[in-house]
Structure 1
Amino acid sequence: MSEQSMKELLEQEDMPDIQERTVVKGVVVQVSRDEAYVDIGYKQEIPVSKRDLAVPAPDDARDVVKVGDEIDVYIKSLGGDNGGSLSKVEADKMAAWKDIEVIKEKGETVEAKVAKEVKGGLVAYVMGLRGFIPASQMELHFVKDLSVYVDQTVEAEIIEIDVQKRRLVLSRRKLLERDRAEKEEAVFSAIEPEQIVRGTVKRLVDYGAFIDIGGVDGLAHISDLAWHRVKHPSEVLEVGQELDVYVKSVDRDAKRISLSVKDTLPDPWVEKAEKYAEGDFIEGKIIKLTDFGAFMEIEPGFDGLIPMGELAEKRIERADEAVHTGDVVVVKVLRIDTKRKRISLSITKAKRDADSADVKKYAAESASEGDETVTD
């Protein structure tokens, strides 16, 4: 046996047991822009390309490792001109799968970086591992555009792991459901009808607005958003807006809260009504005739009803027997009902009071003239 062959045999005996498809420790002995050379105790240092150093691949391998670093590497192959092929990425993944399994067993959560939208959900990375978040597991409600989550980091729960198939399925919805349950318990134990609470507009839909009042969403119907007619909630509200809301009703069994925005705002009708009092005489225009009377405009956007029996002294069958649309009349305010938002008016009582006032005035003037005659 030659001296060279004997030397090679001795070197092989001194080498540790190094096998392909295993993870070993190595020391970085040289780093360039495109690769790092690692000593794993093999007969020569083996290069690790920058794409096998980290995910995503760095622009410069020196951004990931430096000479002297001890790292774990996965042996993809041995032999050849370069001595073999190593991967830090694969070693990190294998370690990460073990860590992920432990995390799932403990019931802990993970931080997932959303990378892109795909059919049926989102691709997200956890500890360098590719995971999948189904669309149904991203929010408590349906999300039309999942792309808004790309590049965001979200907290998620692991719901499925298959190391052999490299399958990792995550859920954000389960965390949100638990969080909602806790907040619901706190809110429903304290909230009562007729309270005014602070909220944030969460979603706008055709029929109203969902408003977050401490982690629980209440619904403000479109008819409760403003005192005037609203065609769509976006006319008066915007997502993210903070505002006070009035609690109309609470259904603890169904977990529903009915809210009102307009009940926290001054009521234009009441503000106008406060300018008038029962017994006042006012002038206005007849704007509508009905089977039960006539509506008179007191001021723009503020009407009162003259019942059929208050339109004329004699009995009439139809309102147009006494008044017509456009007529300007003087009426007496009979009743102001702020709860039902109704004002009852009378033409007949206004005339009677006016006639009575004229008689009193004539009597007073006559008495005054009589006194002057006696004096003379």
Structure 2
Amino acid sequence: MANAMAHMTLEDLDELSGGLNAPVAVRRLEKGAEVTGTVVATRGEDVFLDFGVKDQGVVPRNHFGKNEDVSAGRRVDVVVERHDESQGLWVCSRKGAVQRATWLNLDRGMTVEGRVTGLNKGGLEVDVQGIRAFLPASQVDLHFMKDISVLIGEVVRCEVTEVDRRGKNLLLSRRRVLEKEAAEKKAVLLTELEIGQVRTGRVRNVTDFGAFVDLGGVEGLIHISDLSWRPVGKVTDIVDVGQEVEVKVLKIDRERDRISLGLKQARPDPWTGIETRLQEGMSLRAKVLRVADFGAFAEVEEGVEGLIPISEMSWSRISSVADAVKVGDEVDVTVLRLEPGKRRMALSMKQARPDPWAGVIESYAPGMTVKGTVSRLETFGVFVAVAPGVEGMIHISELSDKRVRTCDEVVKVGQEVDARVLSVDGPKRRIALSLKPAHSAAPEAIEAAASGRRAERKDRPRRGGLSSDWDWMGSGLGRG
């Protein structure tokens, strides 16, 4: 260092530093201060800096890259290590640079470089230029590493956390170096991030409510509702830890240090232009995604789904959605209604099939006998399949001339029966059937007989001297 300074005259330093008459910048340098100096000269392994009048310093050349520019006039950020009284210079190090380690200059806060040589209980052994050091497992990485042995043989940059010169013990932290680097990256990235940008990141963690993505020093959250245009049951159905993803920046809260990201927003909205691809009346193939009491939601394109109401699942009456479809089924549907603005679509399964009732009504007439198979039993009666997709109903009172408590006393599901047609209601798609013998009284006769009895009761004087012209039966109060 002295030899280097010996070749420089006061005029040389004065010329490089801006002259003796340059404005004086008053500052107080001390150990640990982070300052910016101007390169005034390079001599051998030393780079000389000027911090203002009467404040010069020196930093090792190896703190710069092999091809890095260290020409006079360049501004350099450094950290003050100590003051060399004999030379009148501040000895500095490059901010964040790896320093040459010896037991004499080792100190807390120094950044050193070493090679991982082995694994022991609790951490890693590191060789720092011939000095044996210990790197605890908790200080190996920013996040928990399940297998730290993968670093054996690797060169790592660490910060000195403890120095015991007498016991020759050196404790390191790689985590602190990574934290500083991450903080620097984060500061730069936060100034560059803008709402609407599309960035590439890696999924760092997955929770029930979303996924955290590392954008390269800054983490953002993709809420579960922003993972996909289709409904998401579990976050892991869409992304996994370690997966690389493209996301869109939705919101930045710099005060709370929060960033909201969207995975689906980085992809085209499937509902955009849907009216040019789908029209009402169009037949499609759809996949059932989920079911509810009132119907089923089916996907016709990725991210585009519609509702199949229970009333549109079958031409026949069904009591529950499960009678017609289940999750995962692929079904043929017809588009009934399309509302792109509301992102809604109504679908029909039955409209995609021929109407089984077409022409059937005309084929049945009261009094004729038809063959059918009992399809289901209800408390009030029995449903009988008389044709594919066409059912008739036998009321419990029409199952037998005898009193019937439950339908299964007379028939079973799957049983074939010969039933007599009582009535046909075309608009309501209903066929009333009976198992009673044909000689039984017809409903009209039964009703006429009942009317006669009511008339007789109406004219008969009330017992106990009571009489009334009020039609008890007609009012409904006298009906059982």
TM surpasses 0.5? yes
When residues 203 and 329 of structure 1 are mapped into structure 2, their CA distance, relative to the original with a 3 A threshold, is closer
Residue aligned with 2:296, SS: strand
Distance 1:162 1:218 in 2: 36
Q: What is the one-letter code of the residue matched to 2:115?
A: V
Counterpart contact for 2:185–2:217, Cα < 8 Å: no
2:156 matches 1:65: no
Which of 145, 152, 172 is the matching residue for 1:85?
A: 172
Residue aligned with 2:264, SS: helix
Across the aligned residues of Structure 1 and Structure 2, the Cα RMSD in angstroms comes to 4.9
Q: Which residue of 2 aligns with 1:353?
A: none
Counterpart contact for 2:203–2:240, Cα < 8 Å: no
Which of 179, 204, 216 is the matching residue for 2:267?
A: 179
When residues 32 and 175 of structure 1 are mapped into structure 2, their CA distance, relative to the original with a 3 A threshold, is closer
Distance 1:330 1:160 in 2: 69
1:212-291, aligned counterparts within 5 Å? 212-214=299-301, 215-270=303-358, 273=359, 283-284=368-369
In the alignment, structure 1 segments of 5+ residues that lack a partner are 1-11, 286-296, 304-326, 345-376
Q: Which residue of 2 aligns with 1:111?
A: 202
Distance 1:128 1:234 in 2: 49
Q: What is the one-letter code of the residue matched to 1:202?
A: L
TM-score by length of structure 1 reads 0.55
2:284 matches 1:194: no
The Cα of 1:48 is off from its aligned counterpart by: 1.4
Q: What is the one-letter code of the residue matched to 1:58?
A: K
1:44-55, aligned counterparts within 5 Å? 44-54=131-141, 55=143
More helix, by proportion: 1
- The Cα offsets for residues 248-297 of structure 1, whole Å up to 9 and x where unpaired, read as 12223433221112222343323xx359669x997159xxxxxxxxxxx9
The alignment covers a number of residue pairs equal to 279
Ranked by relative contact order (alpha carbons within 8 Å, sequence separation 6 or more), the top structure is 1
Distance 1:275 1:30 in 2: 90
- The Cα offsets for residues 60-116 of structure 1, whole Å up to 9 and x where unpaired, read as x32x2122x22333x2624235323312x4444544555562784553142314444
Counterpart contact for 1:116–1:150, Cα < 8 Å: no
% identical aligned pairs = 19
Distance 2:351 2:328 in 1: 20
Structure number, greater radius of gyration: 2
Counterpart contact for 2:227–2:263, Cα < 8 Å: no
Counterpart contact for 1:115–1:125, Cα < 8 Å: no
Q: What is the one-letter code of the residue matched to 1:191?
A: L
Distance 1:170 1:48 in 2: 36
Distance 1:202 1:240 in 2: 6
Distance 1:160 1:21 in 2: 37
Q: Which residue of 2 aligns with 1:6?
A: none
Counterpart contact for 2:248–2:265, Cα < 8 Å: no
The Cα of 1:242 is off from its aligned counterpart by: 2.5
Distance 1:231 1:255 in 2: 28
